[in-house]
Amino acid sequence: MNASRHHKPANSGSARFKQGMRALTGGVTIIGAYGPDGGPVAMTATAVTSLSAEPPSLLACVNRSASIASALKARKRFSVNVLAADQIDVAKAFGGQLDVRGTGRFIYGNWRRVDDTEVPVLTGSRVSFECEVSHVHDWATHHIVIGTVLDVHFSLAKTQSLVYADGSYIALG
């Protein structure tokens, strides 16, 4: 392999990076929490992954300008809801692709509040993880949030997963 072919800092700008990352297929999730004012906040995210089985934990990358960013630091509890293929409208609403903002987004999907952890959980998602923030690391424009999983809620329905690739939502499975 020619290493020089892969290392071209002069051509590795943000636009090229974003274009390249569109080729990386990712599962679609909604990260949800309650903000400092007590109202629900959430965002669509594909930058979520498992981190460890012992203790059960995951990692989520959240832009510091996102409405949920301050909630993750203030409230310390959040949910990660893995979307089913029939939840494209929910993904679009919380991804800023529909003309709704703030709590108005919560008309999309069937949300319930989990009493023990006080996080919003999306009914009908393939699986929902209730998490507690263990650590937040700042990197450039983003928070890298490590969450310890407190509980897992599985869907009873057998549904396809929703993934995002090349700028499109796709059913998989």
Which whole number is the average pLDDT over 2-25? 72
Q: What is the pLDDT of residue 10?
A: 55
Among residues 155, 160, 125, the alpha carbon closest in space to that of 48 is found at 125
- Tens-digit pLDDT profile for residues 41-81: 999 999 999 999 999 999 999 999 999 999 998 878 999 99
- Tokens 């909604």 sit at which residue? 30
Q: What is the CA radius of gyration of the chain?
A: 17
**Which phi and psi angles does 84 have, rounded to 5°?**
-90, 160
The kind and range of the H/E element at 58 are strand 56-63
- Tens-digit pLDDT profile for residues 127-153: 999 999 999 999 999 999 999 999 999
* C-alpha to C-alpha distance for 65 and 67, rounded to whole angstroms: 6
pLDDT band at 36 (very low <50, low <70, confident <90, very high): confident
pTM of the entire predicted model: 0.90
- Tens-digit pLDDT profile for residues 94-134: 999 999 999 999 999 999 998 777 899 999 999 999 999 99
Give the whole-number percent of the chain exceeding pLDDT 90: 77
Residue 107 burial by CB count (10 A; 0-12/13-18/19+): exposed, middle or buried? exposed
Domain spans of the chain? Answer: 3-172
Q: What DSSP line would sit under 86-103, residue for residue?
A: GGHHHHHHHTT-SS--GG
Q: What is the pLDDT of residue 159?
A: 93
CATH of 3-172, one of 2.30.42.10, 3.40.50.720, 2.30.110.10, 3.90.180.10: 2.30.110.10
Q: What is the pLDDT of residue 75?
A: 74
Q: What is the pLDDT of residue 12?
A: 66
**Which phi and psi angles does 124 have, rounded to 5°?**
95, -10
Q: What is the pLDDT of residue 115?
A: 79
166, pLDDT greater than 90: yes
pLDDT band at 9 (very low <50, low <70, confident <90, very high): low
What are the structure tokens assigned to 69, written together? Answer: 């960013």
